[in-house]
Amino acid sequence: MTDIIKTDVVIVGAGPVGLFAVFELGLLDLRCHLIDILPRAGGQCSELYPEKPIYDIPGFPVVTGQAIVDNLMKQIEPFNPTFHFNEQVEGLEVLGTPEAPLFRVTTDAGQVFETKVVIVAAGGGSFQPKRPPVAGIEDYEGKSVFYAVRKMETFRGKKVLIVGGGDSALDWTLNLQPIAERVTLMHRRDDFRAAPHSVNAMRELVAAGKLDLVIGQMTGLKGENGMLSAVSAKDNKNVAFDIDCNAMMPFFGLTMKLGPIANWGLHLHENLVPVDTAKFESSTPGIFAVGDINTYPGKLKLILSGFHEVALAAQRAHHYVYPEKKLLFQYTTSSTNLQKKLGVA
Ligand SMILES: Cc1cc2nc3c(=O)[nH]c(=O)nc-3n(C[C@H](O)[C@H](O)[C@H](O)COP(=O)(O)OP(=O)(O)OC[C@H]3O[C@@H](n4cnc5c(N)ncnc54)[C@H](O)[C@@H]3O)c2cc1C
């Protein structure tokens, strides 16, 4: 069994608001673990619009979705948060009392945390992979059909089919090619949305005979007891063919679902967590909700709103972690104490 991780704060979601929460909590000496179902930080900014310019981040006349995430990652470096990617928070159980909160948080990877404070920064919910429209695919999921790579070793010596034309499909094609017995990449047209350098690397491997590229669409699955033996497909002229494989990774994009948050005993309003605007705390003391996942009169789903919310939530969180300590308001410009924590004094 994995060891229980004991911490001050667990942050559910590593979107822009979860990331900035690390900064505000860190200034108050609160240690954080962040958990995200995605393989990287950034939430909607990185997943949905990495290259789009944002014009309403204070102090940045223009910044792209990915650049704001990169800057936030740099800004929180001094606090050395621990990230747990590719893990969905499934369970949240109350162990303590309203005066001295304590929670058990569990993920679908079996990791257990004991924490005094939970910050739910889950945006519109968890990003879930879109399932290809192929009959019976559920029977293969988790056995020979995978939507994410938890361990590359799972694919060693396998005949892997990767389906899709975006960054995830190309990244995993390139990463698994040296490990798998054979990788086949299938896309519905010979035109890829992924980063040009990945597309070039893929084409070089195809030219060298080290990778198969197939243009076509999946139509069915063949196999037994959840183990694939082939994927049926058709080309653009409707000619049917089979691809030999014993593992498949379809990358058909992501959708957002509230997911397990609905089962955490929190009072919800239209799939959002109502909070007060003094502390951004939910109906359960010690559980805060910040960013797109919360609701209150006048709420605007903007990144800057989330940044304000985490600053206030951190003040209350401090009270739960250090009930005996008085909190002094300090500026980063003038407090040598804060500057030491930031590593600049
Ligand atoms: C196209 C587009 C353009 C936008 N433009 C702007 C703009 O110009 N200015 C602006 O201010 N805002 C803009 N927004 C909105 C902005 O992106 C959101 O307000 C912001 O991303 C909210 O941040 P968040 O951290 O609250 O949530 P998110 O960015 O949604 O991140 C939440 C994270 O939580 C994770 N998560 C959820 N549930 C779980 C779970 N159970 N376990 C583990 N992880 C979980 C998700 O995987 C996700 O990574 C735009 C949004 C879109 C889609």
- Of the candidates 237, 252, 267, which is a domain's last residue? 252
Q: What is the pLDDT of residues 120-138, one digit of tens each?
A: 999 988 778 899 999 999 9
Probe target for ligand 1 pocket from 303, 304, 307, with the most ligand atoms within 8 Å of CB:
303
User: Looking at the predicted structure, is the pLDDT value of residue 1 above 70?
Assistant: no
CA 325 / ligand 1 centre spacing (Å): 33
108 and 23 in one domain?
A: yes
- Round to whole Å and give the CA distance between 58 and 46: 19
| Kind and range of the H or E run holding 217 | strand 217-224
Nearest CA to ligand 1 atom 49: 43
Residues contacting ligand 1 via CB (< 6 Å): 12-18, 35-38, 43-45, 48-49, 54, 56, 88-89, 121-127, 259-261, 291-292, 301-304, 306
Nearest CA to ligand 1 atom 7: 54
181 and 34 in one domain?
A: no
Report pTM: 0.80
CA 7 / ligand 1 centre spacing (Å): 25
pLDDT over 70, % of the chain = 99
Nearest CA to ligand 1 atom 48: 43
Read off the pLDDT of each residue in 181-210 and give the average, rounded to a whole number.
Answer: 96
Q: What is the pLDDT of residues 131-171, one digit of tens each?
A: 999 999 999 998 999 987 767 899 999 999 999 999 889 98
169 and 122 in one domain?
A: no
- In ligand 1, which atom is closest to the CA atom of 127? 47
- Helix, strand, or coil here: 163? strand
Probe target for ligand 1 pocket from 17, 44, 111, 288, with the most ligand atoms within 8 Å of CB:
44
Q: What are the beta bridge partners of residue 257?
A: 126
The upper half-sphere exposure of residue 200, i.e. CA atoms within 13 Å in the direction of its Cβ, equals 3
123 and 42 in one domain?
A: yes
Take residue 17 and report the two structure tokens written for it: 């608001």
Strands 227-234 and 159-163: unpaired
Q: Please provide the DSSP assignment of 271-337 as one string.
A: TBEE--TTT-B-SSTTEEE-GGGEE-TT----HHHHHHHHHHHHHHHHHHH-TTSPPPP--TTT-HH
CA 254 / ligand 1 centre spacing (Å): 13
Alpha-carbon torsion (128, 129, 131, 137), positive or negative = negative
Domain containing 26 — which CATH number? Answer: 3.50.50.60
Nearest CA to ligand 1 atom 47: 126
270 and 123 in one domain?
A: yes
- Round to whole Å and give the CA distance between 214 and 185: 6
Residue type, 184: T
CA 153 / ligand 1 centre spacing (Å): 31
104 and 66 in one domain?
A: yes
Alpha-carbon torsion (184, 187, 191, 197), positive or negative = negative
- What are the b/e assignments for 316-344, b being 16+ CB within 10 Å? bbbbbbeeeeeeeeeeeeebeebeebbee
Nearest CA to ligand 1 atom 46: 126
The count of domains in the chain is 2
Nearest CA to ligand 1 atom 21: 44
- Domain housing 154: 131-252
27 and 52 in one domain?
A: yes
Q: What is the pLDDT of residues 211-233, one digit of tens each?
A: 999 999 999 999 999 999 999 99
Nearest CA to ligand 1 atom 26: 291
- Round to whole Å and give the CA distance between 263 and 218: 35
| Kind and range of the H or E run holding 244 | strand 240-244
Q: What is the pLDDT of residues 85-110, one digit of tens each?
A: 999 999 999 999 999 999 999 999 99
Q: Please provide the DSSP assignment of 8-69 as one string.
A: EEEEE--SHHHHHHHHHHHHTT--EEEE-SSSSS-HHHHHH-TTSEE--BTTBSSEEHHHHH
- Of the candidates 211, 232, 252, which is a domain's last residue? 252
Nearest CA to ligand 1 atom 20: 303
